[in-house]
Structure 1
Amino acid sequence: MSKKKTDNQRSSGFFKHPGKWAVAVVLKAVAMLPFGGLYFLSEVLYLLIKGLVKYRSEVIIDNLIHAFPEKSASEILQLRNKFYRYFCDVSLESIKLYRLSEKELKRRVSFVGTEALNKLAEKRNGAILLAFHYNNWEWSGALQQQLNCKLLMVYNKMRDNEPMDKFLQKAREKWGGEAVQMGRAAKVTFRYFAKKEPAVVGLIADQSALASSQLWAMFLNREAAFFQGPLTIARKTNQPVFFQEVVRLARGKYECRYSLLVEDPSKLNANEILLRYIEKMEEVIKSNPEYYLWSHKRWKHKRPEGTALIQ
């Protein structure tokens, strides 16, 4: 393809979707803010979404009521407001990742449990890392700097906003890891496995799966569908499964902790692996619930008739 034709395509894309490109420009500008300016902006956004916009308030409150039926209406409202404050911080911190320096990263993010992760990944030709939408999961991509092998970060492509998707992909890959679209995760993982090149496959595995999924289990007191992919990969490769927990130490400072969830997945069925993952998530979420992504429509699907609920 000629350079002129490529330039014309880019120009055409810009004028066809100027709003989407403008969003990418704004994001890059926000990423340049120092942390003081970033958190000042966060405070402004917090006041807006709490008092004026009430961002997905009904979804958040409904999710919290089901997850914590023992809490009063005032407690649920307080928890929603705590979530709003966290949500503003973590959203802007995720944008800041685009321009975050290595020096600043080391000052703000620490890692625990990577020795065991590295050891087993090298011994077993890779590992599966199950994470979830808790605290600043985006900054945990810097795990690549702690690994002796490649980190494959599985993500869902934003098909309706290419400039935004490219912005996020560049931010995620800046530490050397490889961002892999969810539909290609198994193929890419098995390619590394076949070449005997150890890779740690990181998945945010609490995302809402389709209603047609065969994996349904109770999660925070509600029936929820889960993706089969992570468990299928783990059992076929028999790579150890680790769990990621991101702990907030202070504003803008985190500790990423890694613990072994299943050492030999081939010896367990997918259901048992999933239940262990859910148990760990619930344990972490209930300790500090405001740091979970309650605005996500996690429980929007209903279990189809005839699909069994994992017990």
Structure 2
Amino acid sequence: MTLEISPGARDALQAWGDHMRALDGAAENTLTAYARDVTAFLAFQAGHRGGPMGLAEIGRLRTADMRAWMADQRLHGTGGRSVARHLSAVKSFARWLSEREGFDPTAILSTRAPKFRKPLPRPLAKDAAKDLIETVGMQHDTPWIAARDVAVVTVLYGCGLRISEGLGLTGGDAPLADVLRIKGKGGKERLVPVLPAARDAVERYIAACPFDLTDDGPLFRGARGGALNGRIVAGVMARARMQLGLPASATPHALRHSFATHLLEAGGDLRSIQELLGHASLSTTQAYTAVDTVHLMETYARAHPHGR
């Protein structure tokens, strides 16, 4: 922790992290990133204002101080998305601290994040998803590894899992039940139905796997028996998409986008898809789906009582 931050501010940072961990269920990676962002912000303000940043100094920050910090971020090449994330952490800390210390956080909270264009999700077409899964199985000469790779991508696509969630499955999860209990971001749990194709792919992998899949050990194993690394899955998909002429956006995460989009295309409602993906906000789910407006309105008209 930098010397430009007073012991009181350091203690406040620690207490804020404990608060988010206990009440908000924030993941450790999120807490670490937030603490790093706020620490860097306070260090900048110490240099900018010419003195250590204690609790009183944080309460006296002005709009000009915030503008100077954001300008410095951009000057050092920090992108708009990253600046927005840093600002979000600073605002969260300031909001919590102001309630505890009784100062007016308006100068901090009223600071606007830079505008940036959110990249549109690029799901695969249904045929492309099917071809990709089949081609993934052709990337390795060792039969059990080929079966493993097919099982992983089939589970990611068929269940809409993040790659960390798919690789987090254990031997105790096999054979896959009709419904999986998945622990996602922030430790939040959700129930995800398992398609027969995903269950069958995992069964073929288990039958071929040369390692003992213990209940508390990883389900998907690397070539030497350890936990499978996500980079291996990404590499296999990269080779498969090159063979099929698919764009670089055809990544493991694109399978999750594809899961959501294809469900919506089939008439699924956004609220149910939100629950399956484990999103806290419906707007996040909407960003995940790339169904054209005409199709979305047709789905809405079929589902809404006044559209019938």
Q: TM-score, normalised by structure 2?
A: 0.25
Higher share in strand:
1
Greater relative CO (CA pairs within 8 A, separation 6+): 1
Higher share in helix:
2
